[in-house]
Structure 1
Amino acid sequence: MPRLTSLEICAGAGGQALGLERAGFAHKAMVEIDSWAAETLRANRSKLGGKRVEVLEMDVHDLDGTRWNGEIDLLAGGVPCPPFSIAGQQLGADDERDLFPQALRLVKEIEPRAVMLENVKGLAQRRFESYRAQVIKRLNDLGYTVFWDLLQAADYGVPQLRPRFILVALQEEIAPHFSWPGPMEHRITVGDALRDMMAENGWPGADAWADQATAVAPTLVGGSKKHGGPDVGPTRAKEAWRAMGIKGSSIAEEPPGPDFPVGDPENLPRLTVPMGGILQGFPADWRWQGGKTAQWRQVGNAFPPPVAEAIGRSIYSAISTYAALNRGFDPIKQKLDIRVS
């Protein structure tokens, strides 16, 4: 299908970029400040559009969006969540890590057809109602209609409970053609997702373990550079993992081997980084870069690719429907021309 263009800010390890790539978007550039996450983007560039896609390792504050003015169909990003996270101090607009103002600046400079921004469910709380209203008003003033909803990753093929507050904004003439993607009929369990990985080193207990791991995973967390190590999260999450036969106090280097105990509640298998990636919806061969702590931070902070893909397809459909009803596709350039003269 014809490709639309996208620009990613706060790209992380590439979860949103991968989902959008699958939804029909070709990335002009991916912007990420964390050096190891940027390395992960480079290591997986073949899955994200190849060498033609720029990986810009830089602060979004320093990004000049005018370079891409009129060239981008979708501006997307997973803006940092600490200002709104229930686990944090919830300072909102008073938090220096709040990058919504920078995202809005880039919308003005780039003038994309659509915008997609992802954040934690804490942003949906009543205490941030005024903040959300300011964001919506700013986008309305720039000529966009705003859609904001809380989506659950487990409804879109991700074996994990990961609620995310998603903002979609489309140019006013495109917006009537947008609708949120519907949920899948069945959820994927942890056992279904990780059975093959648990068995790949010859552990004889893999099938029995998978047969009893019939729940969806708790939300994975990665911590920040200052806080949080490689584990599955707070006590409540560790207890949920233990109920599924997983030791959550640390992350393993590799799956259990042929001599690993079977049926021993005191010796449970642990997750590995690639397993965490699977639970986020990444492919098993995603090449995570850095040490284990840096890799797990990327895993835990990622935007699940299947969720990005589902929303991306809805955005793609809205833009292409509008184009088909107006000027349509340019079969030579394979790009939608939707500018209003």
Structure 2
Amino acid sequence: MAEQGEGMKHDRTSVELFAGGGGLAMAVHQAGFRPLLLNEFNAHACATLEASATKTLGVDGITRTDDRRPQPPKPGDPAPLYPGDVRELDLSGLSGQVDILAGGPPCQPFSAGGVAKGDEDKRNMFPAMFKAVREMQPKAVICENVRGLLRPSFNDYFEYIQRELSLPFVQRDDSVSWQVHNAELERLLALRSENDSDDQHYRVVKVAVNAADYGVPQVRHRVVLVAFRTDLGVDVDAFEKYVNTPQYSIDALFRSMRDEDGEYWTRHSYVEEHVKQRVRSSLPAKIDDDDCAPWRTLRDAVRGFGTSSPSLALPPIDHDVLDRKTEQAAHLGITDHIGWPGARIYKGHTPNELDRPAKTVKAGVHGVPGGESVMLTDERIRDSNEPSGWRYLHRYMSVRETARAMTFPDEWQGSGRRGEKMRQLGNAVPVTLGEFFAKAVADALSSVGH
């Protein structure tokens, strides 16, 4: 699948809705797509997109627009950003000119961390996504969302979402319940054969992913929907098989750590022996063989290995100056790599370990359940209360370390206070995960001459 697009160059285009801090937008750009429009409602996220666009989106800046019926920019022109409610937009001016429509509609209605009202929640933006499909008729759609959509309580509505994406031009009247509309869509789809094709029908692929299986140094369970317009003739079955094949595995990581001189420890030769022993002692007795690459770890991310762009190792943060942020900033010399005091660990609130993928980055900083923003370091002090006689130190992760766990390039500059930057990262799509899917879409389109 990956080789289908080799040697083929296109001026591929994209539209990004619910762009947030830019994770999926960066991913689609790195896969070779030029942004025709970005949309985001949050003011801080808009400022982030503006601050980072030239270096991360390959465009000559971003220009805000209040035009509710935007026209496509010419190659080389700044990418337009509509900083408002997506439901206000008329995207028909982009009809027939968009290769990929990408976006992650706000996930709170379906998140286990929210009230989980689902389709009844006014924050459900899937209808806005389907409206955009009708107005632009993109060749393909990439939609990322929380794994909560797969919960049994949302199963019927999630099936409805997929049917709506398959037949977006069969609109639901406001007076009709989604259940009635769902039954009509199901009836219409049953009448179609696999060979039926037209430019108002899409074939949808659902992929439940763990981002760690795709090279992200983070355990992040999400669901990705990809849809192709049926008149293009894409081999959707081949695409589905390819994107459902994990590229990385935990067993491959364990194999690389098993021996004292294993590939993982060779890469991180600075690690002291007491850390290696602690990690190796936690490995399972049975480790399977496979053809995958090793899961990437938080240590890999912090040290600059396997990130979305070549990066240097982040300098260490001194535990003794966590409460003196100005001093840290002057000393470390890298943006957003500032320690933070007050991190705690306790039962049910355990820290990230450097030699495993990070826990899921969430949209918060203090008070996030589970210790997702806390890191256990290599540093230790004597502690007679510990069975080993030593206690490893922990601290909050810096914004830059968190961005690396999301595979954001160091050129990314978040806007707002620390908590706002962490919120943007927690709501984002990891760049490496998004790029995998965007490149797979590009290759699928190339294989049929698009």
Name the TM tier (shorter chain): 0.7 to 0.9
Q: Which residue of 1 aligns with 2:357?
A: 216
Say which SS state the counterpart of residue 143 (structure 2) adopts. Answer: strand
Q: Which residue of 2 aligns with 1:194?
A: 302
Q: Which residue of 2 aligns with 1:300?
A: 426
Over the aligned positions, Cα root-mean-square deviation in angstroms equals: 2.0
Measured in 1, the distance between the counterparts of 2:362 and 2:164 equals 31
The alpha carbon displacement at 1:302 in A equals: 1.0
Say which SS state the counterpart of residue 269 (structure 1) adopts. Answer: strand
1:232 to 1:317, Cα distance in 2 relative to 1, 3 A:
farther
2:377 aligns with one of 219, 223, 245: 245
Runs of 4+ in 1 over 4 A off after TM superposition: none
Measured in 2, the distance between the counterparts of 1:232 and 1:305 equals 26
Measured in 2, the distance between the counterparts of 1:126 and 1:65 equals 34
Measured in 2, the distance between the counterparts of 1:36 and 1:92 equals 26
The alpha carbon displacement at 1:232 in A equals: 7.6
Matches within 5 A, 1:270-309: 270-309=396-435
The alpha carbon displacement at 1:155 in A equals: 1.4
Measured in 2, the distance between the counterparts of 1:89 and 1:166 equals 22
The alpha carbon displacement at 1:198 in A equals: 4.1
- TM-score normalised by L of structure 1: 0.80
Q: Which residue of 2 aligns with 1:99?
A: 125
Say which SS state the counterpart of residue 75 (structure 1) adopts. Answer: strand
Measured in 1, the distance between the counterparts of 2:223 and 2:436 equals 14
Query: Contact 1:27/1:49 (CA < 8 Å) preserved in 2?
Result: no
Matched, 1:269 2:404: no
The alpha carbon displacement at 1:296 in A equals: 1.2
Matched, 1:21 2:29: yes
Query: Contact 2:377/2:392 (CA < 8 Å) preserved in 1?
Result: no
Give the AA of the match of 1:27: P
Q: Which residue of 2 aligns with 1:209?
A: none
Query: Contact 1:75/1:114 (CA < 8 Å) preserved in 2?
Result: yes
Q: Which residue of 2 aligns with 1:231?
A: 366
Give the AA of the match of 1:20: V
Say which SS state the counterpart of residue 138 (structure 1) adopts. Answer: helix
The alpha carbon displacement at 1:191 in A equals: 1.4
Structure with max Cα Rg: 2
Matches within 5 A, 1:150-169: 150-169=208-227
The alpha carbon displacement at 1:266 in A equals: 7.4
Measured in 2, the distance between the counterparts of 1:27 and 1:111 equals 16
Say which SS state the counterpart of residue 98 (structure 1) adopts. Answer: coil
Q: Which residue of 2 aligns with 1:258?
A: none
Deviations 1:96-129, CA, capped at 9 Å, x for gaps: 0000011011101110000111100000122222
The alpha carbon displacement at 1:236 in A equals: 5.4
Give the AA of the match of 2:446: S
Matched, 1:147 2:205: yes
Q: Which residue of 1 aligns with 2:444?
A: 318
What is the percentage of aligned positions where both structures have the same residue?
A: 31
Deviations 1:236-281, CA, capped at 9 Å, x for gaps: 546xx45x339xxxxxxxxxxxxxxx41347533311111100001
Measured in 2, the distance between the counterparts of 1:232 and 1:154 equals 25
Matched, 1:50 2:59: yes
1:232 to 1:279, Cα distance in 2 relative to 1, 3 A:
farther
Deviations 1:154-200, CA, capped at 9 Å, x for gaps: 11221111111101010113442533434232111111211321438
Matches within 5 A, 1:22-171: 22-46=30-54, 47-51=56-60, 52-141=78-167, 142-171=200-229
Give the AA of the match of 2:49: L
Query: Contact 2:95/2:137 (CA < 8 Å) preserved in 1?
Result: yes
Query: Contact 2:406/2:431 (CA < 8 Å) preserved in 1?
Result: yes
Measured in 1, the distance between the counterparts of 2:15 and 2:233 equals 19
Query: Contact 1:174/1:318 (CA < 8 Å) preserved in 2?
Result: no
Give the AA of the match of 2:416: G
1:62 to 1:113, Cα distance in 2 relative to 1, 3 A:
same
Q: Which residue of 1 aligns with 2:18?
A: 10
The alpha carbon displacement at 1:87 in A equals: 1.2
Give the AA of the match of 1:216: P
Query: Contact 2:31/2:438 (CA < 8 Å) preserved in 1?
Result: yes
Measured in 1, the distance between the counterparts of 2:370 and 2:40 equals 31
Query: Contact 2:212/2:218 (CA < 8 Å) preserved in 1?
Result: yes
- TM-score normalised by L of structure 2: 0.61
Q: Any stretches of 5+ residues in structure 2 without a counterpart?
A: 1-8, 61-77, 168-199, 249-292, 304-312, 318-330, 333-352, 382-390
Measured in 2, the distance between the counterparts of 1:194 and 1:292 equals 18
Q: Any stretches of 5+ residues in structure 1 without a counterpart?
A: 203-211, 224-229, 247-261, 324-335, 337-341
1:266 to 1:307, Cα distance in 2 relative to 1, 3 A:
closer
Measured in 2, the distance between the counterparts of 1:266 and 1:146 equals 48
Query: Contact 1:221/1:232 (CA < 8 Å) preserved in 2?
Result: no
Query: Contact 2:52/2:412 (CA < 8 Å) preserved in 1?
Result: yes
Query: Contact 1:66/1:110 (CA < 8 Å) preserved in 2?
Result: yes
Deviations 1:52-84, CA, capped at 9 Å, x for gaps: 211221111111111211110111101111111
Aligned residues: 291
